[in-house]
C-alpha cells in the first residue's frame, strides 16, 4: 500500500512512501494471507510499469484459480487472491487465520 518503487526513493519524512491503499488493517485479504501483489523484475530491477504484460500474468493467475485485480473496476493489476467467494466480513468474523484458510479450502472443494 505504498508508493516506494525502490528503497533509494524514500525520504526521511515518508520512509515507505505515500499511502496508496484505502484499506484499514483487517480490511484486506493480504491481512489473512490470501492475497499477494506481484512484481516484474526487468534488467535486474523491480518494475510495476503499466507497459509490462500484466494481462498475461492475470491469465495465468486465473488459470490457477486465483482472482486477479486487473478484472476489477478499480484496476489493481499486480494483485492476486485466493478467496473462493469468502468476503472480508466473513474473514473478519472467523478471525483466526488457520480457520479462514480451512473455510477457503472447504469452499474450493465444493467448486
The secondary element (H helix, E strand) that includes residue 92 is helix 88-94
Please check whether residue 48 is in contact with residue 78, taking contact to mean a CB–CB distance below 8 angstroms. yes
pTM, full prediction: 0.75
For residue range 93-107, what is the model confidence (pLDDT) as tens digits? 999 999 999 999 999
Tell me the average pLDDT of the chain: 84
E strand spans, 1-111: 35-37, 40-42, 45-47, 67-68, 79-81
Predicted confidence (pLDDT) at residue 10 exceeds the cutoff of 70:
no
Predicted confidence (pLDDT) at residue 84 exceeds the cutoff of 70:
yes
Q: How far is CA 108 from the centre of its chain?
A: 19
E strand spans, 8-78: 35-37, 40-42, 45-47, 67-68
Amino acid at each position: 500500500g505504498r508508493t516506494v518503487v525502490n528503497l533509494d526513493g524514500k525520504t526521511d519524512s515518508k520512509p515507505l512512501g505515500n499511502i496508496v491503499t484505502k484499506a484499514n488493517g483487517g480490511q484486506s485479504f493480504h491481512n489473512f494471507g490470501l492475497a499477494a501483489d506481484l512484481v516484474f523484475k526487468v534488467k535486474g530491477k523491480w518494475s510495476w510499469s503499466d507497459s509490462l504484460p500484466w494481462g498475461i500474468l492475470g491469465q495465468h493467475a486465473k488459470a490457477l484459480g486465483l482472482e486477479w485485480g486487473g478484472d476489477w473496476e478499480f484496476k489493481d493489476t499486480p494483485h492476486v487472491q485466493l478467496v473462493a467467494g469468502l468476503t472480508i466480513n466473513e474473514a473478519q468474523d472467523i478471525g483466526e487465520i488457520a480457520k479462514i484458510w480451512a473455510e477457503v479450502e472447504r469452499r474450493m472443494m465444493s467448486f
